Chains A and B, each alone.
Chain A
Amino acid sequence: MEIFTIAEHRKGELNPVSFELLNLSNLIKGDGKSNAIVIGNNARVFAEQLAKYADKVLAIEDEALENYSPELYSNVILQVLKGDKPTLVLIGNTTSGIELAACLAVKLNSPVQSDVVNAEISDGISISKYICQGKVMVDMKLRNSEFYVLLVRQGVFKNGPEIRGNFEVISIKSSTVPRRKFIKLIEPESGEVDISKEDILITVGRGLKDSSNMVIIEELAKLLGGVVAGTRPTIDYGWLPKDRQVGTSGKTVTPKLYLGIGISGASQHVMGMKDSELIIAINKDPTAPIFEVAEYGIIGDIFDIVPKVIDKLRQIKR
């Protein structure tokens, strides 16, 4: 099967998922080829890096392609997706990737699946993916088609051999004017604390129930010499500022100690903390996915356990 991966870049850097897509492609391509497509105003700067892991890289350039646009990018991708069929298109499961994949799937009339963690080619395409925020896995087979579009979860296919292919720079003028216009990129907020640089993170989730309970977590963090971070809901509810968010839409952290309190471990959170040195989780739900990445798990009520830990720490400090 012919495979095309779509690289993603921002501020002059390739998103690592661009290489992960090629690793997956090389694993499953069989007699087919791993092709990478990278699009931008100056896409050639990425072509060489990508060619290490691709049979062929197409760097598509045009001034109008400087900023990502699902309308323009899908338009130029369609122009190069001609050739051998069936064709599999692999895209990173990012918010821009999802936009692009859906747009391509409609135009190609192809099956599309998001957050894929494994794919196999055998008489069509079979995939595995998580559902229920990471609690359950599903294996599914896609309807046979000339095209398939898969959104691949970031961080799954991290390592693969170099195959050293070649690259070509081509210029394509998109025939459409995008209706959606880029205005600006907004950098991450930076507060006093950078959680990605802290050694000890006490991270809270929805299980904390109410912002008034944050005082005990702050107390615990103080006694452990760490800082408080949180999952997406704790930021949505206003319990913590945005710069304390751990996860794909927040920060990726790798502290010496990650102590998770009342966190179920939704996929988007786990991806931002799974490489921490020591992960300990306290949660009353034994099926919480956080226990899959934690080294130690305490199944119990945080409101019973945390105050006891605080008492004991106070005694030690005295």
Chain B
Amino acid sequence: MKIVVLVKHTFVLEPGSTISTNGKSFEKQTLVYEMNEWDRYALEEAIKVKERKSAEVIVVSVGKDCDDTLRRCLALGADRAIKIPYDSVDSWQIAEAIYMSIKSERLDLVLAGFQSQDLNNGLVGPILAGMLRLPYVIAAISIEFEGEEVKVRRELEGGFQEEVRLPLPCLLTVQTGINQPRYASVRNILRAKAKEINESPIIPKSSTVEIEKIYLPAVKKAKRIEGSAEEVSSKLIALLKERGLL
């Protein structure tokens, strides 16, 4: 079985993160980067399959600086890593780049996280499924293999879920909580350093979006309760009394 896992090297905002003077991007050096949380669950699903039956797990990432995340995946059990060194905020371009790099692979399953923790679009997976003409499910919360098919529970809103069945090959994006992602051992982290990351120099077509402005949402509304821990707890209790809640 050949499994492709899409992974993203995502940024995280820190208290000191700032927006560039052009107002269209962040100052890169003020951001912290890490493997997208949702993708950790996607990779774990792939590794679980690999442990049960034999499988080759290929991780693919789009971005000029995604090496750390790819190495982490190799340390966690991925067999091969493909890096597409192109930075984009457009789900279309990212899906297209991945499509170009994996379309000739005879794959059985594509796994991805439900969304990225930085841009929260959740579109690369299902767009890629459309390009590859694969059946797909997003926001999977359980995956069971039944021969040449998978039975998948997907998350709806309001606590509802839906069970569907689809044939392999297919594409699934997974929600957090589907499994418990493992940690890499120090030995495997060291080993992964020696593994090769294959660069796939693909330049996708022009972007379907142009960022005009990035900004913080309107003024914070909350009234501050200030003071020492002692003081704020007294003020909090006074407030609850005043509102008839105590």
Interface positions of A (Cβ within 8 A of B): 10, 15, 70-71, 94-96, 98-99, 101-103, 105-107, 111-115, 126, 130-143, 145, 154, 178-189, 200, 224, 232-233, 235-236, 242-243, 245, 248-252, 256-257, 267, 278, 280-281, 285-287, 289, 291-301, 304-305, 308-309, 311-313, 316
Contact = CB atoms under 8 A, between A and B. Distances in A.
B32 interface: no
21 contacts: A70-B126, A102-B129, A131-B120, A133-B117, A136-B214, A137-B216, A142-B209, A179-B170, A183-B151, A186-B153, A186-B161, A186-B162, A248-B157, A249-B157, A257-B245, A280-B239, A281-B222, A286-B15, A291-B221, A295-B223, A296-B223
Contact of A301 (B127, B218, B229): B229
Contacts of A242: 159
Interface in B96-148: 117-123, 125-127, 129-131, 135-139
Contact of B211 (A140, A297, A308): A140
A286 B167 CA distance: 47
> How big is the B interface, by class?
35 or more
B240 interface: yes
A154 B156 CA distance: 13
Contact of B163 (A186, A235, A308): A186
B20 interface: no
Interface in B211-228: 211-218, 220-226
A250 B212 contact: no
A54 B220 CA distance: 35
Nearest to A242: B159
A141 B210 contact: yes
Contacts, number: 242
A111 B208 contact: yes
B186 interface: no
Interface in B56-109: 91-92
B229 A130 contact: no
B234 interface: yes
A286 B60 CA distance: 36
Contacts of A140: 209-212
B246 interface: yes
Contacts of A145: 208
B232 A300 contact: yes
Nearest to B11: A132
B147 to A, nearest CB: 14
A99 B139 CA distance: 10
Contacts of A183: 151, 162-165
Contact of B127 (A112, A137, A300): A112
Contact of B160 (A10, A105, A252): A10
A287 B222 contact: no
Nearest to B156: A95
Contacts of A298: 224-225, 232, 236
A143 B163 CA distance: 36
Contact of B223 (A103, A243, A297, A312): A297
Contact of B159 (A136, A243, A295, A305): A243
A312 B209 contact: no
A285 B17 CA distance: 13
B198 interface: no
A98 B163 contact: no
B51 interface: no
Contacts of B161: 185-186
A51 B226 CA distance: 51
Given A143-B208, A236-B177, A137 B121 contact: no
A210 to B, nearest CB: 15
B139 to A, nearest CB: 4
B207 interface: yes
